[in-house]
Amino acid sequence: MCGIVGYVGKDNAKDVIIDGLKKLEYRGYDSAGIAVVIDKKIQIKKHVGGIENLENLIGDDPLYSHTGIGHTRWATHGAPSDVNAHPHINGDSSVAVVHNGIIENYAELKEELINEHGVVFRSETDTEVIAHLVGLFMKDCDSLEDAVYMATQKMRGAYAIVAVAAKDPDKLVAVRKDAPLIAGLGKGSNFIASDIPALLKYVKEIYLIENGEMVVVTPDSIKIFDENRQEVKREVFHVTWDVDAAEKEGYEHFMLKEIFEQPKGISETLNRRLDENGRIKLDGISLTKDDLDNFSKIYIVACGTAYHAGLVGKAVIEKFAKIPVEVDVASEFRYRDPLVDEKTLFIAISQSGETLDTLAALREAKRKGARVLSVVNVVGSSVARESDDVFYTWAGPEIAVASTKAYTTQLTCMYIIALYMGLARGTITQEFYDQFIKDLQEIPGKLEEYLKKTGEIEALAKILYNKEQVFFIGRGLDSSISYEGSLKLKEISYINSFAIAAGELKHGTIALMEPGTLVLALATQDALYEKMISNIQEIKARGAHVLSVAKEGNQAIEMQSNEVIYIPYCRDEIAPLLSVVPLQLFSYYVAKERGCNIDKPKNLAKSVTVE
């Protein structure tokens, strides 16, 4: 998704906006631009590529202004180019607009503007339609907010919009519909942004903008209006993140920093949920035995990495709580008329809490009567606000596009939820519960020790980085981790990687095994270890190069592998918290060897808020 920053206040808007855009570049980096109001005229600078290109274009020009908007783009309509970069302006440059999302009826609006008003379009984007609409309505409206409101009445889609007007130079007007938006409350200066990191340097007090709301921002006030244009009183949300949490702190990349932050994230997510007796407390979530017994089915719905966490969640919830669980990809869920009713518990997993597909699936489940429990990392996000119950992870801000610490904290949440359900229903014993909690509490320490040995992974990456096709295989929970390992590799190294349950090899995929084919084989499940050895033998017989991941003590796998990565010994169910880490590191070091942009891989963005 794209990044938005808006500023109105006493400082130079250009400097504030550029700084904020740098903090949001993980949301989009095809192009970047800025529009500022100077002497009741709008000046725009924009350039294809990263923000450094925009800075080079601006050069020494101070662009001194107290009001402006900026944008860093992930292309949806129109290829990355200077002309398609945001902000977009209307014909006489009296209005400028930045926009996240998609205007679904932009083609018919564009045709209407051309045929009825003689509008000439400069770009291929849907966003330019908004600028022309607002500009037309400004001719007959008393204020910028009136014009923006009139424009949104003609638009369909999902969007976050921020507009400035030359004749209303001390005002920003923003509207949110199914795309994230926040307003920052300063002193003599106020802000608009699409995500919190953009504002951390300047403010800690923000307003979370709800769906359908309009925000009017001046240097002295932030006013929020609902869909009926009635003013809304909103409680201030205090951001607890430290500014340094969104910085690299000496690491070469955010991804590497966030891999190393996983012991802390797991520990925080777990221990904040335990009382002094080691009992799970759900912070206001009330799921009684009667509630749980009433559920006939649990749906876990998510996208990408969060979906892979859901696969592990399914396994442990079914094993511990004995309730049927179905895991679904959010983008498919609402289009197949799912069997959901008041006896359904719907668990949404989302790092950002703004993933549009997940949010749409959540709304569909609620419409059908399901109870909704969300697992999210961002407090006050859309998914969190629209859920009946919220289970927060404690990963802290995750900046790299490829998720790492958000994934392992999501896994931790899945274990906690499964244990809580099992104990409440009486389907696990107190003895099992106590031992499992103890085992979970040992994971951060084991992971810290393991992360001292990253050199062996880096050495393997230097040997194997030039493969153009890689397979990941595993059985049981290892197959779920294989999917995540494969996704990490393809996301940041652009290698064509493919994951499969190892038992499925003989049903087609083994035809692709040739001498030298790289296969990462996960064999961390003691109950399936011998079966996995057999699968490795099958691919070794076809000449594959096998890099295995196994628990310490299982040296027999060395006879069937070219190399083996050992993780600390642990029970089978918990192994995913450890086994995914060497896969993350392998992906990182391979991408580094290949010279890839690790934190900002091509065509990807951190928070996907369009379908």
Q: What are phi and psi of 547, to 5 degrees?
A: -110, 110
Beta bridge mates, 496? 469
Q: How many CA atoms lie within 13 A of 371 on its CB side?
A: 17
Cα–Cα distances in angstroms (integers) from residue 465 to residues 462, 494, 515, 558, 592, in the given order: 6, 11, 17, 21, 9
Dist. CA 261–CA 244, nearest whole Å: 13
CA atoms 309, 311, 313, 316: torsion sign? negative
Q: And the tokens for 276?
A: 């002094």
Neighbours of 549 (CB within 10 A): 30
Dist. CA 463–CA 481, nearest whole Å: 23
- At residue 442, the 3 state secondary structure works out as helix
Dist. CA 553–CA 244, nearest whole Å: 40
Calculate Rg over the CA atoms of the chain. Answer: 25
Beta bridge mates, 160? 100, 176
Dist. CA 310–CA 328, nearest whole Å: 9
The 237-238 sheet, strands edge to edge: 41-48, 31-38, 67-73, 3-8, 190-193, 182-185, 205-208, 237-238
Please identify which residue in the block is written with the tokens 């996704």: 487
Q: And the tokens for 552?
A: 């310490």
Dist. CA 88–CA 96, nearest whole Å: 5
* Catalytic (active-site) positions: 2, 606
Strand duo 182-185 + 221-225: pairing: unpaired
Neighbours of 428 (CB within 10 A): 19
What single string gives the DSSP state of each residue in 207-225?
EEPPTT-EEEEETTEEEEE
First to last CA, the chain: 11
Dist. CA 53–CA 29, nearest whole Å: 11
Q: For residue 99, which of 4, 7, 211, 192 has the smallest C-alpha distance?
A: 4
Quote helix, strand, coil % in the chain, to nearest 5.
40, 25, 35
Neighbours of 471 (CB within 10 A): 25
Q: And the tokens for 557?
A: 């796998």
- With left for phi above 0 and alpha for psi between -120 and 50, is residue 561 left, alpha or beta? beta
Q: For residue 134, which of 170, 101, 98, 158 has the smallest C-alpha distance?
A: 98
Q: For residue 422, which of 411, 407, 435, 432 has the smallest C-alpha distance?
A: 432
CA atoms 520, 522, 523, 528: torsion sign? negative
- At residue 8, the 3 state secondary structure works out as strand
Is residue 53 a contact partner of residue 25, using CB atoms and an 8 Å limit?
Answer: no
Dist. CA 552–CA 566, nearest whole Å: 5
Q: For residue 316, which of 290, 298, 330 has the smallest C-alpha distance?
A: 298
